[in-house]
Amino acid sequence: MGRFLPILVVVIATVFTLIVIVMEDATGIRLLPKWLWFIVVLLIPVIGVIAWWIFGRPLPGGPQSQVPPRAPDDDPDFLRTLRPSGDR
């Protein structure tokens, strides 16, 4: 079992990283395109996994979290489409 543990750790880390890459939004990924990160992690498991977690993954607070969602009553465009209550 001792000989297989490092191999098992590398396989689990590689599969986990590949799943994370597939699920990430392509706009936040850094340094390389999403498809190239997938190939790097697949072909060079240990170095590719480490490189992804250091250089490739999106930083917290990236582009997807800059614009908070708006409720309809806070959206000026939506409010302009409503008629005043007296116009029936």
What single letter denotes the amino acid at residue 75?
A: D
Per-residue DSSP letter, 64: G
User: Of 9-13, 21-25, 42-46, 65-69, where does mean pLDDT reach its minimum?
Assistant: 65-69
Phi and psi of 20, rounded to 5°? -65, -40
Q: Which pLDDT score, from 0 to 100, does residue 53 have? A: 92
Number of H-type helices and E-type strands within the chain: 4, 0
Contact between 32 and 48 (Cβ < 8 Å)? no
Per residue in 48-81, pLDDT (tens digit) is: 999 999 998 887 765 555 566 667 677 777 777 8
Phi and psi of 48, rounded to 5°? -65, -40
Whole-number Cα distances in Å, 86 to 73, 77, 78, 79: 19, 20, 18, 15
Q: Look over the chain and give the mean of its residue pLDDT values, rounded to a whole number.
A: 83
pTM above 0.85, yes or no: no
